[in-house]
Structure 1
């Protein structure tokens, strides 16, 4: 996944400038981008580069949920394995100040390989969780999907994504603007603004402060359940190791 290339395109199209690597394009798999970084598109719209998913497990989805709820700051390190104490400290710092921003989730998927069954199940969990948090489904952007584009696009639609936008001609090895890519970027950004407006409208109807308190409570429940699952897993592993020790212990008789 490479959100930086998408950000570079959005910036160059809106500024009507040649393509530049302003966001530091590279694989955002945890080895390149480790923090959230914002780039202003307009006076009121910002696009954020994020650390890419590594496994899409419950820990990563829980951390992503905290970001979507406004319980994480921009320009801070994204850590998929925070301790429970760190997570609670973050929430205590943020829970008294409802965010004024609305975070719209965007999934950037690069490559010609379709999601495996396991990855599809994990992605569906993330898509459903994103909707529960924001009130809108994530928007998906496909990059360099080649002949697999239609198949991958259909898969994301089946997982719940309402909008899937393929960038047909853009190539990371030779990044440049063209009329077709510009039109695709503008269509993508228009959908983002429209979906954000829908999400903001839902939040206003629910009451911003009331909804934020609910979001904080839901996040705490998620964090506690994740912590319980870690404890259960650790106990199961310890029991398994003890059983293995017993099974290989020599039998001693008089």
Structure 2
């Protein structure tokens, strides 16, 4: 398929034209997630540029501490497709990861700034309060944005694998991966990491920026290919019967289960630390009594 054909397919895509109709979905929500500074906002600007004409800054780059990125912002691509700039992960702390999962699960309203609560009971209450008017009409596609300039250690690779596996379990779709800063070295090594994880769709781009947005055919074609493959995957999945309300309920259960498990892990860690402290005090008391 030519780039022109892919562009037409993306621009005219409609869930209503799927064989079984839209099945209760109103739009495709391409959910971008990943670490701070890896190029999510720049990728959104690049996608808008490829489909729209003149280059403009639609999504602002986040600052170093991620202060702006607690808000999920959506950016319309077509009548039936939107990109979402979810919060960037500053660390792999479980609270940070939990908030990312809540974003991916579409359990937090768009354009809403919110902090992830600190314990399981607060999280459960928060989710229930935010689910009074549930949104289950978005068909969610998870997309990890990852910069090839980042050298990942073995532990970081393991964390990435868990993040991707949970994103798949949460959404029912194996995440797409977009590698950014492809010309800065490390592309082959980073790509092989995700290939080893069994990722089916990996794309590589050098994002357009305010200072460098001269049209590059390879960049335009890669972004069009990304959008085309995402929507072809959606079209394929819409060939079977789906229940968007049940999918949202399942996502909520996943988040609550994740929060509960992490709370139990933390509780076990606190109890272990307390036991160790008590044992140290007991040994010190015995030494004092001997003296």
- TM (normalized to structure 1)? 0.84
Task: Name 1:138's counterpart in structure 2.
Answer: 175
For residue 121 of structure 1, the aligned residue among 133, 158, 170 is: 158
Alignment correspondent of 2:221:
183
Task: Return 181-190 or 27-36, whichever deviates more.
Answer: 27-36
The Cα shift of 1:253 comes to 4.9
Structure 1 counterpart SS, 2:140: coil
Check if 1:46 corresponds to 2:82: yes
Equivalent in the alignment of 2:244: 208
- 1:220 pairs with 2:256: yes
Aligned to 1:64: 100
Q: Are residues 55 and 247 of structure 1, via their aligned partners in 2, closer, same or farther at CA, if it must alter by over 3 Å?
A: farther
Confirm or deny: 8 A CA contact 1:59 1:80 kept in the other structure.
yes
Instruction: Report how many residues are paired.
Output: 250
Structure 1 SS opposite 2:138: coil
Gaps of 5+ in 1: none
> Partners of 1:107 and 1:228 in 2: how far apart?
28
CA distance in structure 1 between the aligned counterparts of 2:177 and 2:69, rounded to whole angstroms: 19
- Consecutive unaligned residues of structure 2, counting only runs of 5 or more, are 1-37
Is 1:241 matched with 2:260?
A: no
Structure 1 residue 123: Cα displacement = 1.0
1:229 and 2:265 are equivalent in the alignment: yes
Q: Which residue of 2 aligns with 1:163?
A: 201
Give the Å deviation of 1:118.
0.6
| Structure 2 match to 1:4 | 41
Structure 1 vs Structure 2 CA RMSD: 2.7
Cα displacement (A) at 1:200: 5.0
1:135–1:199 Cα contact (<8 Å) kept: no
Asked whether 1:147 is paired with 2:185, we answer: yes
Change beyond 3 A, Cα 1:189–1:177? farther
Q: Which moved further from structure 2: 81-90 or 143-152?
A: 81-90
**Alpha carbons 2:69, 2:88 under 8 Å: kept:** yes
Q: Judging changes above 3 Å, is the alpha-carbon distance between structure 1 residues 32 and 214 closer, same or farther for their aligned structure 2 residues?
A: closer
Question: In structure 1, what is the equivalent of residue 233 of structure 2?
Answer: 195
Distance apart, 1:156 and its partner CA = 0.9
Secondary structure of the equivalent of 2:139?
A: coil
Q: Is the 8 A contact 1:72 1:90 kept in 2?
A: no
**The residue matched to 2:185 in structure 1 has which SS?**
helix
Q: Secondary structure at the match of 2:112?
A: coil
Structure-2-length-normalised TM-score: 0.74
Does the aligned pair in 2 maintain the 1:134–1:199 contact within 8 Å? no
Quick one: higher RCO (CA 8 Å, sep 6+), 1 or 2? 2
- 1:110–1:144 Cα contact (<8 Å) kept: yes
- 1:33-85 per-residue CA deviation (whole Å, 9 max, x = no partner) reads 22211111111211111221233354444333332322221122354554324
SS at match of 2:145: strand
SS at match of 2:204: strand
Q: Is the 8 A contact 1:2 1:108 kept in 2?
A: yes
Q: C-alpha distance in 2, partners of 1:173/1:252?
A: 73
